[in-house]
């Protein structure tokens, strides 16, 4: 299969490696020659490391490297069966690229975007043949993260959808189908992990270190929310939250936090700027958590139930199947358990009562219990 990738940045380079490793021939295109050079050098480094670790043979390394060609004209992508775009997150610029690309390609060629936040229907509308268009959302780093969200637009043909599902499976990735709605599965369902943690901090219930400790110790999450926001970058994480909030017509469940906005404005971006919620300078001391078990349980259960409620609501609104929602969170963001499985474990009764108690306390729409959880409790069902 002939694959074309547009944009040789973080994601484009990673996706090119995935496709080449799976045996496809790959053309990687970028308008910036320096980005193409950087991508080639970075791939060579990764390949050398894989050889050193004994994960691949020298011949396999050469095969992968030789199967990727680096091109600087969009016309060079004319013979691709599948093109995946991974350029700057700007709808107008992406649409212009798609319209030009389509004029060079055959009617059967599939065109896809790796966008995290734009509507697939709006991107598809830039094409003469919008039925050939689909969302294929990889996670960073693409060669390591097993999950890929596949997002058909309302225009996408069944044939294109099925071909992409097959291709992603051939690439040894775990594909999940998501409806074309803001944040797809992962970036929607994960919002409370950050948002509720920030809210707990803003209420003065606990500090960053204590909230992180609670989620790691009691929840088994690899990184607590503040450590994770520092890792992702407060600017990036804030923008995702704000985009999702706006796209959901300002549903209070997704409202961004002033705390994070101020940290981003102050340049406290996290690891990449040396300071975020924590100080990453050498010899810096960071506060110790308050390891009070009762407090830890309160924090963990509040964030967990908000996550479960979000996952249940995504199922209620047919964003994805229950299986795919749980796969998305365990394989896309390394949650220790699927949230719907976790709901069963805690009990549906517990979920409804916990949500209702939060609603009773705050009287905010943010804490409304998903109708699906309520219905399941009434009918004594589990996920
Ligand atoms: N970084 C992530 O964690 C992540 C995860 C999933 C999806 N995404 C999405 O993937 C896309 C790319 O993100 P990234 O982090 O790889 O960006 P990046 O900034 O690392 O790379 C973008 C590349 O696109 C090139 N480019 C810009 N305009 C172009 C054009 N008109 N034609 C050809 N090349 C062009 C740039 O030169 C650059 O090399 C975005 O849509 C983003 O939302 C990013």
Q: Which atom of ligand 1 is closest in space to residue 7's alpha carbon?
A: 24
49: burial class by Cβ within 10 Å (0-12, 13-18, 19+)? exposed
Are 315 and 329 spatial neighbours (Cβ–Cβ below 8 Å)? no
Please state, in angstroms and rounded to a whole number, the distance separating the CA atoms of residues 196 and 186.
Answer: 16
Is the beta carbon of 12 within 6 A of some atom in ligand 1? yes
Distance from the CA of 90 to the center of ligand 1, in angstroms?
Answer: 10
Determine contact, residues 6/77, Cβ cutoff 8 Å.
yes
Helix (H, G, I), strand (E, B) or coil at 260: helix
Of the pLDDT bands very low, low, confident and very high (cuts 50, 70, 90), residue 278 is very high
Q: Which of 13, 126, 187, 237 is catalytic?
A: 187
pTM exceeds 0.85 for this model: yes
Q: Which residue's CA is minimally distant from atom 2 of ligand 1?
A: 140
pLDDT of res. 127: 98
Q: Is 56 helix (H, G, I), strand (E, B) or coil?
A: coil
Q: How far is CA 190 from CA 117, 150, 287, 291, 336, in A?
A: 14, 18, 26, 25, 13
Do residues 26 and 20 make contact, with C-beta atoms less than 8 angstroms apart?
A: yes
- Considering the chain, tell me which residue range(s) the CATH 1.10.1040.50 domain(s) occupy: 188-378
Which residue ranges does the chain devote to CATH 3.40.50.720? 2-177
202 in active site: no
Look up the CATH architecture of domain 2-177. 3-Layer(aba) Sandwich (3.40)
The structure tokens listed for 271 are 């690891």
Contact 335, 329 (CB under 8 A): yes
Give tens-digit pLDDT for 165-192: 999 999 999 999 999 999 999 999 999 9
Q: What is the mean pLDDT of residues 331-359?
A: 97
Tens of pLDDT along 34-83? 999 999 999 999 999 999 999 999 999 999 999 999 999 999 999 999 99
- How far apart CA 133 and CA 121 sit, in angstroms, is 9
Q: Is 230 a pocket residue for ligand 1 (Cβ < 6 Å)?
A: no
Q: How far apart are the first and last CA of the chain?
A: 39
**In this structure, how many other beta carbons lie within 10 angstroms of the beta carbon of residue 183?**
23
pLDDT for residue 107: 95
137 noted as active-site residue: yes
Residue 202 tokens read as 């803003």
pLDDT of residue 27: 98
- 88 close to ligand 1 (CB < 6 Angstrom): yes
Structure tokens at 296: 């830890």
- Write the DSSP symbol of residue 341: H
Kindly report, residue by residue over 218-273, the tens digit of the pLDDT.
Answer: 999 999 999 999 999 999 999 999 999 999 999 999 999 999 999 999 999 999 99
* Residues of the chain above pLDDT 70, percent: 100
pLDDT band of 159, cuts 50, 70, 90:
very high
Q: 87 CA distance to ligand 1 centroid (A)?
A: 3
Token pair 């496709």: residue: 19
- Which residue of the set 85, 149, 216, 310 is catalytic? 149
Mean pLDDT of the chain: 97
pLDDT of residue 175: 98
Tokens of 270: 């996290």
Calculate how far, in angstroms, residue 28's C-alpha sits from the geometric centre of ligand 1.
Answer: 12
For the domain 188-378, what is the CATH code? Answer: 1.10.1040.50
Whether 12 and 38 have beta carbons less than 8 Å apart is answered as no
**Residue 315, C-beta contacts closer than 8 angstroms, at least 6 positions apart:** 321, 322, 325, 340, 372, 383
Distance CA 199, CA 303 (A): 10
Ligand 1 centroid to residue 286 C-alpha, Å? 34
Q: 6 CB less than 6 Å from ligand 1?
A: yes
Residue 264: what pLDDT?
97
Name the pLDDT band for 309 (thresholds 50, 70, 90): very high
Tokens read off for 265: 């404005």
**Cα(310)–Cα(307) distance, rounded to whole angstroms?**
5
Give nearest CA residue, ligand 1 atom 3: 140
Are 326 and 185 contacting, i.e. CB atoms less than 8 angstroms apart?
no
347 is annotated as an active-site residue: no
Pocket probe for ligand 1: among 4, 8, 10, the residue whose CB has the most ligand atoms within 8 Å is: 10
Cα of 25 to ligand 1 centre, how many Å? 21
- Residues 6+ away with beta carbon under 8 Å from 150: 134, 135, 136, 137, 161, 164, 165, 168, 175, 176, 177, 178
């Amino acid at each position: 299969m002939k694959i074309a990738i547009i944009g040789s940045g973080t994601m484009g380079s990673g996706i090119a490696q995935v496709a080449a490793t799976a045996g496809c021939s790959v053309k990687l295109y970028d308008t910036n020659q320096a980005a193409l050079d950087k991508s080639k050098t970075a791939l060579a480094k990764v390949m050398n490391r894989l050889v050193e670790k004994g994960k691949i043979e020298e011949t396999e390394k050469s095969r992968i490297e030789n199967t990727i060609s680096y091109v600087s004209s969009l016309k060079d992508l004319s013979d691709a069966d599948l093109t995946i775009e991974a350029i700057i997150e700007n709808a107008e610029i992406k649409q212009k690229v798609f319209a030009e690309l389509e004029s060079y390609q055959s009617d059967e060629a599939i065109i896809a975007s790796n966008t995290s936040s734009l509507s697939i229907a709006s991107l598809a509308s830039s094409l003469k043949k919008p039925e050939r268009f689909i969302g294929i959302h990889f996670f960073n780093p693409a060669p390591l993260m097993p999950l890929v969200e596949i997002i058909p637009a309302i225009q996408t043909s069944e044939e294109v959808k099925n071909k992409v599902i097959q291709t992603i499976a051939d690439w040894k990735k775990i594909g999940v189908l998501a409806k074309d709605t803001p944040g797809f599965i992962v970036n929607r369902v994960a919002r409370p992990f950050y948002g509720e943690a920030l809210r707990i901090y803003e209420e003065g219930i606990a500090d960053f270190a204590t909230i992180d400790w609670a989620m790691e110790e009691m929840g088994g999450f690899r990184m607590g929310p503040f450590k994770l926001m520092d890792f992702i970058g407060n600017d990036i994480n804030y923008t995702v939250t704000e985009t999702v909030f706006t796209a959901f017509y300002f549903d209070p469940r997704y409202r961004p936090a002033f705390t994070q906005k101020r940290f981003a404005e102050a340049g406290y971006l996290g690891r990449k700027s040396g300071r975020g919620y924590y100080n990453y300078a050498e010899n810096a001391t960071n506060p110790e958590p308050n390891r009070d078990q009762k407090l830890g349980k309160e924090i963990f259960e509040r964030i967990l139930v908000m996550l479960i409620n979000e996952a249940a609501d995504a199922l209620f609104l047919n964003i994805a199947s229950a299986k795919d929602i749980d796969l998305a969170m365990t394989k896309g963001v390394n949650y220790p358990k699927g949230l719907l499985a976790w709901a069963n474990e805690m009990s549906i009764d517990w979920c409804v009562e916990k949500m209702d108690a939060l609603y009773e306390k705050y009287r905010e729409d943010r804490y409304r219990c998903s109708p699906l959880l309520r219905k399941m409790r009434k009918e004594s069902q589990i996920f």
